[in-house]
């Protein structure tokens, strides 16, 4: 099973795609998971055949596959509440518009539909992304949260995403939700709930990114087994816990790389994700899709880290053998 | 050192104060930490001498001290953003008014000033409470949070609470902030930051409630040492961690007592707070104020739990001796 | 929810039932889980109305309910292989017969059918017991175990127990298999497999006994959630782990209470089972059946331990409240 | 097996023995382990028959046994180097003399011989105590310690204690060394070494005191098994670890009860000693001697702690049963 | 100290020895531990000088030493009970014969004697292997196991292996029992018992294979110290624990590499064996024999794993220095 | 930030500096931390310009910087008590003189002053070293230590080191005390105390050596944050804990590399120091000084270990990036 190892371009969108492709290709990556921001991919031009062909040509020129396209930033606005200047910062002017929250949400939903259309045009199987959440803000459960407010949050998600998924179905494209704090699904049981809601929508699946699980003490390997048939994408991203009785789980509103944080993102392979167990589990459940390095480490230079992460993943990911070792004991 | 053991009436405000006082007195509590909701205490009547005297008389009749007054629910609205129906649920109609967020915040601030005035009238040294926070909602740090947005959050807190603290100073009353998720200070480093901001306001201190620390992996005992001179109140409330690789730290938006939560509040003494170490530390730092049982356990009847918690606290809290044991070795 | 607390009489079968009933009643137990050995209950006399009435009368005289009947020892022989002198020791002469293994198995199967019939006569809802296993002996997976040998083991179980369950169905009685080393289901995944095989037989469920799980590092509380609708009986039995680098998990073939064992059974409440979490989970899944103290502790006198265990269970098992504690915050 | 539970009077020597005996007897202790300081026992008067009879009479009057006599303070001086004002503080003027170190050591050795003689006169089987050590001071192994310096330390011990043990042999009395930091044996391997040196002296054994083991991460229960035949006395004393990344194992030269210490002595049953496992192991190795509460807790009043410790020990220490529980399964 | 690093050929016996030798030599192994199955070594031909010379010539041709010969599969049958189709699968037709259990055991014993004779002919010092066990099957201790049944198991072992060891003595060859579940010794205390039985037979020792210890929570490094003078062979084989509350210690009868197993064999260096500590301990106890890679990992291709394991062992195993580092501090 | 990686020559002083420089240079080290013993550096010749120039020339010839000079051995004698043959072994004859303790201490103090003078002549910013301690020997707190004895120890340190620091101030050189058992500061709280005493002496700082912290269970990374502005030097030295219930924290007076020790020094990168976290913290606090490999591993050849340690440190120590990774998300 040879899974492509790709680089997610989201954290490189300050550079032109041409340059990112050149770097990734030079390091030996097999492909890219294209971010739909910066100049990397403009999903609003899905019906501009020349634009689409141009993107394909650029990638081909560098010998790279497009393993998936990712629209986390726009997806975030679909359900989020409140919508504020954090969103303005990450949305395209067209989606932000006048910034009226409900308008932003609806334009974001339309843009996600366009993402499906773009994926179809590019011949890409999977769109990766976020959903936002209207109930993430009530995480602390204080002020007391009426039970129906949680229910409303899940219903809001269903109402906003079902029409989106109709377009995905029509285009034959899958959506892979990244289980992530601030999204409708951010841990095991919230993912369980979301997948029950989406049980009848086989095109709705998950992007397994273990970096968000280890600091919550969720077992990312067991997660793969339990959601095996809906793992549609994999992010190779890592997290380091640094708990010492003063640093806590919630991060103290400190910036990335501040050593007082109780946890931090870290270059893939430097953290607490049990990678070898994870790759063996991916073999066990027969996952054959891309493994996409999402590189975030505010304490290391990305030009050092990205090729190192590729080497780490390549070494850690090996095939299962065909025959059992104890067959050799047989006297037959 | 005989600290009064009190019951915080916040979780009993569905009952008339008369009834709560009767129960608490019957169980053997020394006093109450009066909640400013239900019919327990109406701070808007701080200048109604008869009302004040009536509350005092009620307490005296049951042989109970007022060890502190608590206005968590109103304080929550001072800095919170968004303000929504969760707040409407917990605020008095007067503070909620038309529900316009900024108006709610300002009316809440005024009500907290009244709380100080009421404390002065009642001869109570400490007001316990929450502050709310305009940046709690960006806890996940995604969408990316501009550094100045965090700064703005702390500045907003300072701007809103300094005028409030002027009234506390004028009244000679202390405010004890409960370090708690959803507040401006919710862990060690955010508390550190808030206390730096408030360094020159000796009437601004902390309510040490360990139940919010243990599930964040913050050492509640070491916290007492580091903030020793600003511990103005103590809540004896407990938390149980239940992490098994599926249950995570963030609670999955599940209701209290749902066994899939990674942690839950629990009857004092049944959880993971190291109580004996904590009480010994309170001796070491010379804390002589009240120890107030805040009883929250969605899996146990409160009529069973509250007297059991009192017995637990009384047994666990003992004085330090005067002489060192190894003095007995001396040949002198 | 008032669940009866009973004593399992299996470890007291050297005493006449009269005496055990007298002891248990005196200690305050609500009922007995009757063992089908010693003189406690002879299932072969299920159609002897006088005998049945006599047992009922004896129990009534001591104010005790029969919460379940248990036939672990006979059930063990249904699938076991090998059958040897350990079985002879624990089987009635009638079931053992000439000791020919297959004959023993078949007579044991018939005796389990009689157990269902006896339960029906006594008006008892549940038979608790073991199944034996033809593949327990290949646990070490060495010499290499052909995959079909494991399959054969499960098939053998199905073949032998389906006809038995037909009788249970006919009698309207449930069977609760105790997940236990040496049985067809002894851990999480083997229980999962067995319950898949028995998915269509609602009368086939589980006896949850956490003592066999903790030394295998299986989470007994999570087990309850995952098998919630098939928990038909509960054993309150405890285990203490004593691992120090020399004592191992497998017990070294040492006798119970030998301090070199890596784990040992211990008086309920003295071990590593998280009882309070377990009882809260039983509330959560709505289990309303009996909680039966199975007392095994080779290092303590049973006359001391059995009443102590009852007191422990009674104290640990409390009801969930009707109202949520944070309802009291409401201003409504 | 009914072991006497005694109180070690060392930490009570500021009170007259009469008063300590009265207290201990009133609390329900079975006997005392008499300290040879304060006015409790003056070993220099071993040949004063009237004095000896007087001590016996005092004890009998309070219904107390003398379970052992203890001369830790004098024993400490036998091998110690340096001898300084700490020793002056704890030695009798006669032993201290002019304070010349070697003279002090020799007078201490003679006093220990007298202790054996006194034990014989009192009909007491065991003397408990310390030995001191000339090499404890080089614990840090820096400045580098020549290998022969360690050897010299053990040889010095042997040279000084063999003549002492000749007197013990002559008197038919046993010496029980308390494994303790600052003594020649302070952990597992140093105890192993000392017992090799003393292998041929059956009257030289150990006082098992787990409080000194838990903060060193030594397994006190396994220790009992390995030194089973030389456990001549037991101290029920407890220790609490308080490690949080700032508090360390070495105590920082901070006073007892300072909450910054990484560990502290604590009232028996409040600490980290696995008492139940320990008492079961004492059953397993057939220890039938006294269990002596050594009460040291700088954070609790001893008048509260000593009776509480007695109750704790009595409850924790129970006999093993005669019959195996699974005998009841037999069909015979 | 240059210990040869060898490859155990047991898991490669489906390939001709010629091919295995070629592979191992190419990877850089120093020698082989020859399995006595497949075509690798036929011990029944011990007195066929030409055959023996041929095996030696083959090995020499590839520049490989024979560090030991291993007859696990035949040894297993010596004491095992039951004997069933698992054994038929792994035994030579000559040993299996008609499959009558006692005949199989006796022919297996004879074959082990031949293994000693073959070792002598080949000039090999050590035979490695299993013993089987008549009591492994009663591991669960249920149905209750009469104490004499365990004793009988050890006696059966002694009776069957003493005559075998007489031949080893005569041939001047050592037997190294691999401590392993399903054998007479499978953990610390069972190994202790077996070595007591064999105390007077210096040719009976142990093959230290840590992979069977770590999942039992036995300290494999401390094991080396305690059995230092009887460690006659070393297997470099590794195990990974994967316990998550659902996966348990007993493996659930699941196939190797199934991710639901609580533990699994894994390529040397990928698991939980503390290899560096182990190699330092081998230096400390002066073990100078071979270190033999036993490679079992059902999730990795052996052609990838075997050379990787060799590199890992070579890097991890280094010599102790001659001089102490702190000698350099001396001013002399 | 490019910190020089140096080798501390203390453990190489049996070799001429010429040879050590040649080795270190060949391995790729950037500089040396020169030990003031062996022939490496004779501080008494600080005013011998030719000697000083010669040392500088030697270093320049090998392309090495002098990053610091270290006088641990002489510093140890300044406060130590007792002074004995361990000190004679490590002191120069001139400092040892007639060995009278107080004379030794005073001559050692003078030699430390010369060390400052030599540093100034060599243009070296920092002297690293020990202080000794008159109270280390009372670590066990038994015999009971009068509180003023501890105070006297700190006062003695202040009295002896203030005049020394006057010379450092005059020379413009900093002293970096290595926090280390046997010194006045050996853990977190003793370092805290010493830094309070020296608060007004900015030239007095710390040498952060984590190897002495991990076996005491002190968090070495948090230590850097708390003492950030006084970290004047860094030792890259490692420690491995080996606690198994028999090996304890105090080392049992066993030699280095004895596998029964509860902890041991080990080649940098092989132990329990969290190096990557530490290097990231050094970035966070802006430490720009040298990182000096102190290589001590009694179980590995130093010629193998020293270059391996260099490679490890170089790989582990990387710069923080300039831009935040999530800047790339911006749509601006």
State the pLDDT at residue E332.
65
A85 touches chain F (CB under 8 A): no
State the pLDDT at residue B325.
72
User: What average pLDDT does this structure show over A82-107?
Assistant: 97
| Minimal C-alpha gap between A227 and chain F (Å) | 29
Which candidate from F144, F326, F330 shows the least CB-CB separation from B329?
F144
Positions of chain B with pLDDT lower than 50, given as ranges: none
| Minimal C-alpha gap between F246 and chain C (Å) | 9
Report chain D residues whose CB lies below 8 A from the CB of A244. 244-245
State the pLDDT at residue E44.
97
- Let me know: does C253 contact E188? Beta carbons within 8 Å: no
Report chain E residues whose CB lies below 8 A from the CB of D327. 144
D144 touches chain E (CB under 8 A): yes
Other chains touching B, judged by 3 or more CB pairs under 8 Å: A, C, D, E, F
Q: If you count residue pairs, one on A and one on D, with CB atoms under 8 Å apart, how many are there?
A: 5
Concatenated DSSP letters of D242-279: --SBSS-TTGGGPPTT-TTSSEEEE-TTSSS--HHHHH
- Give contacts of C 292-321 with B, CB under 8 A: 318-321
Report chain B residues whose CB lies below 8 A from the CB of A298. none
- Interface contact B221-D244, CB threshold 8 A: yes
| Minimal C-alpha gap between D32 and chain A (Å) | 43
Give the pLDDT band (50/70/90) at residue E1.
low
User: What average pLDDT does this structure show over E305-318?
Assistant: 96
Give the pLDDT band (50/70/90) at residue A332.
low
State the pLDDT at residue D322.
80
User: What average pLDDT does this structure show over A190-210?
Assistant: 98
Short-list F297, C319, B3, CA closest to E319: F297
**Token output for C180:** 């236990």
Report chain B residues whose CB lies below 8 A from the CB of A242. none
**What does the alpha-carbon distance between residue E276 and residue B164 come to, in Å, rounded to a whole number?**
62
Q: In terms of C-beta density within 10 A (0-12 exposed, 13-18 middle, 19 or more buried), how is residue B251 classed?
A: buried
| Minimal C-alpha gap between B267 and chain E (Å) | 26
State the pLDDT at residue B273.
98
* Complex ipTM: 0.93
Report chain E residues whose CB lies below 8 A from the CB of B246. 245
Report chain A residues whose CB lies below 8 A from the CB of F283. 299
Report chain A residues whose CB lies below 8 A from the CB of D260. none
Report chain B residues whose CB lies below 8 A from the CB of D74. none
A286 touches chain E (CB under 8 A): no
E187 touches chain A (CB under 8 A): no
- Interface contact D222-F252, CB threshold 8 A: no
F181 touches chain D (CB under 8 A): yes
Question: Tens place of pLDDT for every residue, chain F, 332 residues?
Answer: 579 999 999 999 999 999 999 999 999 999 999 999 999 999 999 999 999 999 999 999 999 999 999 999 999 999 999 999 999 999 999 999 999 999 999 999 999 999 999 999 999 999 999 999 999 999 998 999 999 999 999 999 999 999 999 999 999 999 999 999 999 999 999 999 999 999 999 999 999 999 999 999 999 999 999 999 999 999 999 999 999 999 999 999 999 999 999 999 999 999 999 999 999 999 999 999 999 999 999 999 999 999 999 999 999 999 888 877 777 888 76
Q: If you count residue pairs, one on B and one on D, with CB atoms under 8 Å apart, how many are there?
A: 75
F93 touches chain E (CB under 8 A): yes
State the pLDDT at residue C1.
60
- Interface contact A330-C144, CB threshold 8 A: yes
| Probe site for chain D from B277, B316, B329 (most D CB atoms < 10 A) | B329
Report chain F residues whose CB lies below 8 A from the CB of E280. 257, 259, 299
Place of tokens 């010194």: F183
The string of pLDDT tens digits covering residues A236-260 is: 999 999 999 999 999 999 999 999 9
Positions of chain C with pLDDT lower than 70, given as ranges: 1, 332
Q: 3-state secondary structure string, chain F?
A: CCCCEEEEHHHHCCCCHHHHHHHHHHHCCCEEEEECCCCCCCHHHCCCHHHHHHHHHHHHHCCCEEEEEECHHHHHHHHCCCCCHHHHHHCCHHHHCCCCHHHHHHHHHHHHHHHHHHHHHHCCCEEEECCCCCCHHHCCCCCCCCHHHHHHHHHHHHHHHHHHHHHHHHHCCEEEEECCCCCCCCCHHHHHHHHHHCCCCCCEEEEECCHHHHCCCECHHHHHHHCHHHEEEEEECEEEECCCECCCCCHHHCCCCCCCCCEEEECCCCCCCCHHHHHHHHHHCCCCCCEEECCCCCCCCHHHHHHHHHHHHHHHCCCCCCCCHHHHHCCC
- Interface contact D329-C91, CB threshold 8 A: no
State the pLDDT at residue D319.
86
Name B205's bridge partners. B176
State the pLDDT at residue C70.
98
E325 touches chain D (CB under 8 A): no
Which candidate from C221, C321, C324 shows the least CB-CB separation from B300?
C321
**What does the alpha-carbon distance between residue F275 and residue F268 come to, in Å, rounded to a whole number?**
9
Q: Which residues contact C240 (CB under 8 A, 6 or more apart)?
A: C263, C264, C266, C270, C271, C272, D277
Report chain A residues whose CB lies below 8 A from the CB of B246. 188-189, 218-219, 222
| Minimal C-alpha gap between D174 and chain B (Å) | 23
C225 touches chain B (CB under 8 A): yes
Report chain A residues whose CB lies below 8 A from the CB of E260. 225
Report chain A residues whose CB lies below 8 A from the CB of C222. none
**What does the alpha-carbon distance between residue D116 and residue F31 come to, in Å, rounded to a whole number?**
63
CATH number of the domain to which D50 belongs? 3.20.20.150
Give the H or E element holding residue A238: strand A238-241
Residue E106: other Cβ atoms inside 10 A:
16
Name A185's bridge partners. none
Give the pLDDT band (50/70/90) at residue D1.
low
Which candidate from C143, C144, C329 shows the least CB-CB separation from A144?
C329
Number of compact structural domains in chain B: 1
Short-list F214, F162, F153, CA closest to F185: F153
**Token output for B331:** 């040949």
State the pLDDT at residue F322.
80
- Interface contact A320-E298, CB threshold 8 A: yes
Predicted TM-score (pTM) of this structure: 0.95
| Minimal C-alpha gap between A300 and chain D (Å) | 26
| Minimal C-alpha gap between E139 and chain A (Å) | 23
State the pLDDT at residue E329.
82
Report chain F residues whose CB lies below 8 A from the CB of B144. 326-327, 329-330
- The DSSP output letter for D132 is -
Residue F90's domain comprises 5-330
Q: If you count residue pairs, one on A and one on E, with CB atoms under 8 Å apart, how many are there?
A: 76
State the pLDDT at residue C332.
67
**What does the alpha-carbon distance between residue E238 and residue E222 come to, in Å, rounded to a whole number?**
17
Place of tokens 């366009």: A114
- Let me know: does A233 contact A126? Beta carbons within 8 Å: yes
D324 touches chain C (CB under 8 A): yes
E213 touches chain C (CB under 8 A): yes
C2 touches chain F (CB under 8 A): no
């Amino acid at each position: 099973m040879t899974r492509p190892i790709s680089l997610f371009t989201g954290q490189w969108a300050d550079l032109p795609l041409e340059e990112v492709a050149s770097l990734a290709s030079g390091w030996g990556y097999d492909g890219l998971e294209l971010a739909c921001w910066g100049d990397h991919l403009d999903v609003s031009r899905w019906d501009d055949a020349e634009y689409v062909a141009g993107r394909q040509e650029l990638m081909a020129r560098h010998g790279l596959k497009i393993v998936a396209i990712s629209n986390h930033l726009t997806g975030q606005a679909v359900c989020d509440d409140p919508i504020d200047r954090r969103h303005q910062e990450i949305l395209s002017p067209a989606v932000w518009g006048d910034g009226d929250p409900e308008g932003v949400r609806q334009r974001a939903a339309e843009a996600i539909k366009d993402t499906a259309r773009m994926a179809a045009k590019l011949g890409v199987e999977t769109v990766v992304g976020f959903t936002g959440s209207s109930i993430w803000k009530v995480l602390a459960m204080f002020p007391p949260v009426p039970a129906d407010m949680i229910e409303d949050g899940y219903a809001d998600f269903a109402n906003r995403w079902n029409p989106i998924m109709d377009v995905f179905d029509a285009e034959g494209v899958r959506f892979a939700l990244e289980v992530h704090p601030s999204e409708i699904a951010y841990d095991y049981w919230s993912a369980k709930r979301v997948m029950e809601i989406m049980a009848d929508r086989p095109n709705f699946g998950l992007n397994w990114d273990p970096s968000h699980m280890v600091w919550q003490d969720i077992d990312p390997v067991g997660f793969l087994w339990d959601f095996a048939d809906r793992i549609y994408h994999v992010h190779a991203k890592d997290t380091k816990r640094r708990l010492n009785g003063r640093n806590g789980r919630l991060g103290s509103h400190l910036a990335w790389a501040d050593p007082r944080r109780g946890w931090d993102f870290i270059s893939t392979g430097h953290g607490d994700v049990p990678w070898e167990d994870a790759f063996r589990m991916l073999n066990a459940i027969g996952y054959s899709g891309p493994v996409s390095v999402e590189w975030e480490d505010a304490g290391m230079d990305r030009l050092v880290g990205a090729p190192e992460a590729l080497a780490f993943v390549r070494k850690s990911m090996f095939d299962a053998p065909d025959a059992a070792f104890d067959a050799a004991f047989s006297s037959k």
